[in-house]
Structure formats: structure tokens, C-alpha cells
Structure 1
Amino acid sequence: MTNTPLDDIITPRLILRLMSTDVIEACLAGNLRSAGNLLGAGIPKELLEHTSSFRYGQQQLDSDSDYFPWSARAIILPEEKVMIGMIRFHTRPDPEYLHTYVRDAVELGYRIFTGYRRLNYATEALKAMMTWAQGNFGVQKFAVSISPDNTPSLQLVTRLGFIKIGEAMDELDGMEYVFLYIKNS
């Protein structure tokens, strides 16, 4: 059986499942029960604390229908059938805003909910997403932007081999360090 870019990404401990427009709309409406039923996993209320990534994703889809495979994925613990975080690409590869730093890269963003942090779920999800992008689309370069105050994420990307290549002022998040990773074949 051949996997498509829309299929779940399965890791040893996680399922990374695309969040459909219906799931995201239910989340934005605060209806986590309905969203969880559609997703196939319980969604904690903590998701509602930061909905800006959903709004950004909707804007991306409105301007680029081919963005969907790159959009938000729920990070799910299959045994518990619970969403423990989310991960996404900010755009499809080679967005203009990254040209200052690098060409042909794609930027990742992720969040793990309280109670599930520091258990290497983010590491596992990041590696799986990069492998997915490389296997399905030939992407070799990956960027992340992290607040200088987010020590756990700074440590995570450093452990994975990301190199700091710049700094940027984000309208919502303030100062961020920009990191790059080049994945070998």
C-alpha cells in the first residue's frame, strides 16, 4: 500500500494526523468535543490558549489550496486517543520570507501540551515531519524560529543539528532566533 501526503504519519509512539477544516473550525468555535470526534482523539482545552496558528493556517489555505498537506497535524498518543500537541509547516517550501536566510527551505512550528513535555515527543514529531517532507517532496532544508527565552526548544533543535542562521522580529511572538537544518539523503 502506498502512502499519500495526506495520510497519517506514524512513528513508534505517535500519530501525526492532518486536522481537517471541519476540525479546525470546531476548535476555533470552542467545540472541542465535536472536534475530537472528527479527529478521532480527545483534545485538551489547552489547545484554545493559542489559536493564532489555526488562523494563520486558514489564511494560508485561502491563498494556496496546495498548502493543505503542509498544514496543522495533531500529535496523537494512539493508546490514549488523546491529542498532546500539534505540528505544522508554516508554508509550502521556499517561501519568500525565508529568502533572506536560505532558499528551498520550509519552516516548521510545533507545540506540546503541558504534561507531555520533555518526553521527546517533539523530537519524534519533528524528525517524522522532516522525513515526510523529504520523502514526499524532496525537501532537504528545514527552518525553525524560536524565542530566545524558550530554552527547551533551543536545546531540542540544537540536539537535532539545527544551526542558528539569524534573528527575526515576529509581529506576534517578538524576537526569535532562526535555525536551519539540512537533511542528508
Structure 2
Amino acid sequence: MSGDQVDAAVSHCTATLRAGVDRDWEAVHAAGMEWTCRTTAFHIAQAFTHYASRLASRAQERFPLALTLPEGTDNAGLLQVIEATGALVAAAVRTAPPGVRAYHPHPFGTADREGFAALAVNEALLHTHDIAGGLGLAHEPDPDLAAAVLAWLFPHVEPGPEPWPTLLWATGRGELPGRARVTDWTLYNNLVLPTERLLLTGIRPAVADDVRLGGRGGLDWLGDGPHEGTRQACSYLMKAYETGAHRPEFGVFALVRQEDGRAIGGVCFHGAPDDERRVEIGYDLIEGARGDGYATEAVRTLTEWALARDDVDTVVATVEPDNVPSQQVAARAGFVRATVDEERTAHEEYDMDSGLRLYVRRA
């Protein structure tokens, strides 16, 4: 997701709405909205202004920049404002360094450059749909843009047969056969958890798909990373995503060193908490980054984040008996070896491999 997609979405928006430029946009409501078509079009430009200013300034709270229109601005002029502010978003995305994050409220408080690009594309596609519906204009965006928005901002939504109808359904604007109509929706930027030396960077489905297929997911991996364990974790993430079972905050995280932006390993949950408020964690580290305490730092941080939630009481990890370094990571991160009874229960009720040892940390 990049400035190119923002440019494409803005071009589609203005080309679509230009067909109705001679209409009275103030007299017509956007489809399904209380706003008029003109208010909705101005909102697109306002959103672009917020996204560009936040990302360019690295703002960590709401950025006090307001957009106003000169008196007498007509519809054609408003489309020029959308083009200009859209270009600002695209430029901010292109010039932001990898990993830079700025304020956005949903749901974890920040977004990276790819997230802001996706937000801008989402804004353009959806509100063009709303305005076009009010004005009676034809509107059918590039399905690849809709698919990208879904993969970057709606990781909790099971993919549908076609991306554009799925995006409309996911945002309460349409129906999909076999699914209840959406009346309350949200979007997700990825969760990032800082440690002393790392950023635990949540991997989105768009990235996980590339990693599981042998790519590097747009991350600057140390050596020949990612490790096979991270690729396998991304495969499980994609299976969950494709069935609508993925919960973004309980997915896979890349371990990114703050000092140089290099990804050095992965840490993950093996799914969302179960009915007993129990979640399993796994981790791996690229060989060139081992021995410096990075894995312990990551596991401790992610475990403590989970245990601070209302839906988690227990975090477990399974380790091979001969993997002493991994056992030491678990111990340094506050885990203890499970009792014989606990391991028996894990074998019988959770299908834990009989060759593994169970480590536990509780709230």
C-alpha cells in the first residue's frame, strides 16, 4: 500500500464526481448519510488534510490543522481541493521513512505510512460511493484497491467472493449473501508494542500473505530472514483471516530493532484466548540476533500486554525438551514449568504434542 494507490483512488474519485459537477450538491444528501453531497466531498478533503499533516509531522495527538474553502468555491473547485489534498497524502506516504507512526484513533492510537495510505484510499472509495449514490452517478472502483483496503484495514473481516461488495458490506453500506447486515463497524491499524530496544510490529494479512509465500513482507530482515517459524505463523494467520477467525491483536508480530529498523524475528499468539481465558505464545529469532536478550524482551512485553487485558488470565508456551535456549527465554520472561497435572491436561484437552514441555505465566 503506497502513494500510488492513493493517487489511483483520488483520480477515480474526481473522475466519477466530475460527471455530476453541474448538479446542486448542497441540495442532495449522500446515499445513506445525513450529510449533503457537498459536505461529504469536503469531508474527503478534510480527511486527506488530517492524514497528510499527521504523518508529515509525526504527530502523536490530534493535529490542529483546519481546512476551509474560500467563499464561492463551486463543485469544480471542490474537486480541485480533493485532488490537491490527495496529492499531499500521497507525498507524505512516499516521503515517510519505514516504521514511522503518527496519530490515528482506530483502534490502537497510531498508524504507519501504509496505514495512512490505506485510510486515504478507504475514504476516497467509500465517500465517492456515497456521493455517487446520492447524485445517481455510476461508480465501480478498481477491485484491487478495495481488496487492498480490506487486507490492510479490515483484517477481522472474512474475505467475500468479490472485494468491493465485501468492503461495502463491512462498512454497513451493502449486503452479502449469508451474512448479517453490519450496523456497527470499525477498522484496524496494526498494533505496535515498544520494548526497550524493539518495536513489536503487528503483521497485517497483506504482509503475512507475502511472508508465507517466501517474501519478506516489506520488512528489512536481518540476514536471510524471516525464520521458518515466522513464515509458518503467517500461514496460520492467513488461514484464520480467510475464515473470519483472525483477531488482529492476537496475531503475529515482527521484532524490529529500534536502532536500525531491521526485523530480527517473530513472536505470535496461536490464536485468540479460549473459553478459559488462556492463550498460547510462540517465538523465534534469526540466528544472527541471538544471545542478546531480544527474545526475552519481546516475549515478556507481549505476555504482560496480554495479561493486562480483561480476556486473558493465562499465557502458555510449549518448548522442546532439548531446546535449552528457548526454555531459558521462557524462564527469564516470567514463565514457570507446568505441573505434571497441567501438562497431562494440556496433552488430553489441548492436543499438545507429547514431546513438548509446557511453561505457564498467570496474571
Same fold (TM over 0.5): yes
Q: How does 1:78-157 map to 2 (within 5 A)?
A: 78-94=258-274, 103-157=276-330
Q: Distance in 1 between matches of 2:191 and 2:225?
A: 26
Aligned match of 1:100: none
From 4, 11, 15, the counterpart of 2:199: 15
User: Aligned partners of 2:295 and 2:211: how far apart in 1?
Assistant: 22
Deviation at 1:80, TM superposition (A): 1.3
| CA displacement, residues 46-65 of structure 1 (integer Å, 9 cap, x when unaligned) | 32534222211211223344
- Out of 39, 46, 68, the position equivalent to 2:225 is 46
User: Structure 1 residues 120 and 48, CA, compared in 2 at 3 Å: closer, same or farther?
Assistant: closer
Letter in 1 for 2:201: R
Q: Which amino acid aligns with 2:253?
A: R
Structure holding more helix per residue: 2
Unaligned 5+ runs, structure 2: 1-60, 62-104, 110-189
Give the % identical residues. 24
Partner of 2:243: 63
TM-score (norm 1): 0.78
1:73 aligns with 2:246: no
Q: Which runs of 5+ in 1 are unaligned?
A: 96-102
Residues of 2 paired with 1:139 and 1:150: CA distance?
A: 27
CA contact (8 A) 1:163 1:181 kept: no
Cα–Cα, structure 1 residues 141 and 83, in superposed 2: closer, same or farther, change >3 Å? same
Instruction: Write 1 or 2 for the structure with the bigger share of strand.
Output: 1
Indicate whether 1:180 and 2:357 are aligned: no
Of structures 1 and 2, the one scoring higher in RCO (CA 8 A, sep 6+) is: 1
Quick check: 2:256–2:263 contact (8 Å CA) kept in 1? yes
Which deviates more from structure 2 when the two are superposed, residues 79-88 or residues 48-57? 48-57
Matched-pair contact (CA < 8 Å) for 1:72–1:87: yes
Residue aligned with 1:47, SS: coil
CA deviation string 1:88-124 (max 9, x = no partner): 10011126xxxxxxx3210000101101112111111
State which structure, 1 or 2, has the greater radius of gyration over its C-alpha atoms: 2
Alignment root-mean-square deviation, CA: 2.8
Equivalent-residue separation in structure 1 for 2:296 and 2:221 (angstroms):
22
2:343 equivalent in structure 1: 166
Q: How many matched pairs?
A: 171
Structure 1 residues 62 and 154: alpha-carbon distance in aligned structure 2, compared to 1, 3 A threshold: same
Q: CA deviation at 1:44?
A: 4.1
Measured at CA, do residues 44 and 63 of structure 1 come closer, stay the same or move farther in structure 2, by a change above 3 Å? farther
